[in-house]
Amino acid sequence: MKFSFRKEERLKSNLLIQKIFTEGHSLFLPPIRVVWSETEIKGKYPAQAGFSVITRNFRKAYLRNLLKRRMREAYRKNKSILYQYLAGKDKGIAMMILYIGKEICSFEEIELKIISSLQRLIKDCEKVH
C-alpha cells in the first residue's frame, strides 16, 4: 500500500460534510475529535477524510495550518489500519478529524492520538453493524 494522500481521499463535498455532522457518529480522544459516517463512496479508496482546527482556539492561520499539516501527515502514515478493516466491506467511511485542544501538540502526540482514534473508529464501526 502506498502511503500517499490523494485528491480522491480528501473529503470536499459540502453535502457529505453536512451529513456527517447531522447524522454521523462521534468519538473524542483529547485533543482530537473524529466525526464519521458510513457512506457509499465510489472509487478505489474506501475512506475520505477532512481536517479542521477550531478557529476560536487558534486565531492565527499559520498555527491552524501547522496543526492540519501534522494531522494530515499522521493520518497519511497510519491510514492502512483503517483500510485493512474496510477492505472486505462494501461500505466506505467519510470522516472529519477536528483538533479541539487549546495547546499546540507535537507531531508525535498527534500521531498517537490519530492511531488511537482510528483503532477506536474500527471498534465503533463494528458496534454500528
What is residue 39's predicted lDDT score, i.e. its pLDDT?
A: 87
| Count of structural domains within the chain | 1
Q: How many CB atoms lie within 10 A of CB 103?
A: 7
Range of the domain at 115: 8-128
Is residue 1 assigned to a domain? no
Nearest Cα neighbor of 92 from 22, 19, 31 is 19
The per-residue pLDDT for 6 is 83
The grid coordinates of residue 54 equal: 477550531
CA–CA dist 41, 63 (Å, integer): 32
In a domain, 2, yes or no: no
Residue at 117 is within a domain: yes
Q: What per-residue confidence (pLDDT) applies to 1?
A: 57
Report d(CA 100, CA 23) in Å as an integer: 20
Residue 115 maps to a domain: yes
* pTM of the predicted model as reported, rounded to 2 decimal places: 0.91
pLDDT per residue rounded down to tens, the chain (129 residues): 577 888 889 999 899 999 999 999 999 999 999 999 998 877 788 999 999 999 999 999 999 999 999 999 999 999 999 999 888 777 789 999 999 999 999 999 999 999 999 999 999 988 876
Q: Which CATH number fits the domain that encloses residue 61?
A: 3.30.230.10
